[in-house]
Structure 1
Amino acid sequence: MDELTMVREWETEGPGPSPRARAAARARLHAAMADESRTVASRGRALSRRLVFRASLAGLTATAVGVAVVVAQDTGDGHAPRMDEASAAEVLRGAAERTRALGSDLPVPRDDQFLYTKTYVERTPVKGGRTRTWTDESWMSVDGSRTSRRQEYGRVHHDPPLGEHEVAWPPTVYSKLKKWPTDPDELLAALRLGHAHTTVGDANTFLNACMLMRGPRVMPPGLQAAAFEALSKLPRVRVDRHDTDVLGRSAVGVSHPKSTFTFLFDRTTYDYLGMRLKGSVAKKVNGEWIQTGWYYETRTQTDIQVVDRIGQRGRASASAAS
């Protein structure tokens, strides 16, 4: 009996593992396969069209999860083999599954409350130089009817209440975000904003998803998971298995070759850690705006709370949040 037949038979016994267990076990499997790929590449063995399936059988028995097999292909130029594009899609689906399994311990906020976020930001010049860091804290009005306090790169902005006909895209207030679809296909269509199904159109769609996740936002239930699953349907997404977030945690990155943004996920659990981008500063030279001062920026949102007022960092009282 081969390993795949055994795994299929395990799936037929009992109710099966929880989504959280599946996501964690799948992540361990992918990490093992990635390590195997690097080991084989370092020994100079060709991996052309070979299946990498070197997870611990005992570990699979303990969790009894469905197995996703990743194809590693030899680039033919003597470099380490690249992981197939499906690997990035699998990471995104794992992140969506992980997000749904964990859920949220935040209470559903009232319109008169605020969403507090704390974000670490790190910026390093592309050509080298001093790395700058910020710890930004923001208090965003849930329905946009009150003044919000938003901090970016250490500078505090007092955003006035949103006007009746004022439209911000992507939305920053919870009351507008909760109207977005949580069906991955519907959300993908919304993120396309009419862009064609081309490489450039897909890159713009990926960018729109990054903009949706960037900044001091709190995702309503189901929206973040839907965003990751929607992106898994895009072609040409790619994976970088050797990354880190602001706090130095080992991460796997997912990006689009035509985008300067990268999502960062914990490489063993697929928890969403934040994102990295390549940006620049606009400068006017001889009457024309040019992009200069290129940098890499990584941001990680570490704290989210529902609070009653600006300046409050602890969770709102039970009576106020009910």
Structure 2
Amino acid sequence: MDDLTALRELEAGVPALSEDARAAGRARLARAVAEETCRTPSRAVPRRLVLRAGFAATAAAAVAVTVVTRDDRPAPRMTTLSAAQVLRRAADRTRADGAGAPVPRDDQYLYAEEVYTRTPLKGGKRTTHTDEFWISADGSRLSRYVYDGRTKDEPPSAHSVPWPPTAYAKLAALPTDPEKLLALLEGSRSGGTATYMDLCLLMRGPRVMPPGLQAAAFEALALLPGVVLDDDEVDALGRHGIGVSYPGMSFGPVFERSTYAYLGMRMEGVRGAKLVGRELKGGEKYTEVRALVKSGVVDEIGQRPR
């Protein structure tokens, strides 16, 4: 698409600008051209740069102007979506995606494949890893976890973790009403930080969720005061998205920017740290971004969904 076509399409969806708004746009364009000329005095400013500067100036003016309706009442200014709005749209998306999802039998397995990248915070080579999971649907059978090629088999006794439950029936027993889910978690833990952590753990896995549960988790998270957006997060597959985080926490979900599909989880960790008293000290800090590749229900360990 050329710049003029893009500009026409932008203007087609925006009310006509006032003379003041157009003057502001022209002033922005003049400043942009002058600044570029100062940076590159030995050559003329390329036409494409001028067009892009004009496009940006027009777009900025369109967003900044107050739209006047036909009855002369001012309409609200255009604003960026809040974290709560993104989470609610993600809930709507996961409900649509989850329609017709398989319900596993007790003798089946919940399968998931993830890709994740780790980037040292103090510089260093970024590495990419792949994990796979075969989790017993009812917790009565051995489950297998493959961490970057290293296999770990866990007996049924390992499924007795307090949160989140791994047995599908226990997940299905959780409320799919976001307010009731939030009340359940707030009743068992104290403080918004702990509730935020529990909701993120529920989102993260297992990956085959009962109908409506993941949507309820997103909407419950939207009810927490303090959740904020982290713009332009990138997952392990290179997909650009919108991240959500909570003050004081080093992890949060990432959603696709245009569709609000859940992409995965971003977090920070420490490798090689030692526990001294009650604190971890030393080690290499890194940023980890996970991306869900596929999930499903299979009949046996080693099998993968189509």
Under a length normalisation based on structure 1, what TM-score does the superposition of the two structures give?
0.67
Equivalent residues, number: 243
Q: Determine whether 1:306 maps to 2:301.
A: no
Among 256, 280, 290, the alignment partner of 2:246 is: 256
Give the match's secondary structure for 1:210: helix
- AA aligned to 1:192 is E
| Percent of pairs with identical residues | 50
Contact 1:172–1:217 (8 Å) recurs in 2? no
Q: Which has the higher mean CA deviation after the structures are superposed, 283-292 or 111-120?
A: 283-292
Q: Determine whether 1:95 maps to 2:86.
A: no
The match for 1:284 is 274
Classify 1:252/1:134 alpha carbon distance in 2 versus 1 (closer, same or farther; 3 Å): same
Under a length normalisation based on structure 2, what TM-score does the superposition of the two structures give?
0.71
Structure-2 separation of matches of 1:188 and 1:51: 39
Segments of 5+ residues of structure 1 without an aligned counterpart are 4-38, 54-68, 73-82, 316-322
Q: Describe how 1:57-136 pairs up with structure 2 within 5 A.
A: 87-136=82-131
Give the match's secondary structure for 1:150: strand
Q: Which has the higher mean CA deviation after the structures are superposed, 234-243 or 208-217?
A: 208-217
Q: Determine whether 1:273 maps to 2:260.
A: no
In the TM superposition, what is the alpha-carbon distance from 1:216 to its structure 2 partner?
Answer: 4.3
Give the match's secondary structure for 1:90: helix
- Alpha-carbon RMSD across the aligned residues, in angstroms, is 3.0
- AA aligned to 2:126 is T
Give the match's secondary structure for 2:196: helix
In the TM superposition, what is the alpha-carbon distance from 1:240 to its structure 2 partner?
Answer: 2.0
Contact 1:282–1:289 (8 Å) recurs in 2? no
In the TM superposition, what is the alpha-carbon distance from 1:123 to its structure 2 partner?
Answer: 0.8
Q: Point out the structure with max Rg over C-alpha.
A: 2
Classify 1:194/1:138 alpha carbon distance in 2 versus 1 (closer, same or farther; 3 Å): closer
* Higher helix proportion (structure 1 or 2): 2
Give the match's secondary structure for 2:287: strand
In the TM superposition, what is the alpha-carbon distance from 1:202 to its structure 2 partner?
Answer: 1.3
The match for 1:66 is none
- AA aligned to 1:205 is T
Structure-1 separation of matches of 2:153 and 2:66: 53
Contact 1:282–1:290 (8 Å) recurs in 2? no
Among 218, 222, 225, the alignment partner of 1:235 is: 225
Segments of 5+ residues of structure 2 without an aligned counterpart are 1-12, 14-55, 68-75
Structure-1 separation of matches of 2:272 and 2:193: 22
Q: Describe how 1:161-240 pairs up with structure 2 within 5 A.
A: 161-162=156-157, 166-196=160-190, 201-240=191-230
In the TM superposition, what is the alpha-carbon distance from 1:211 to its structure 2 partner?
Answer: 1.4
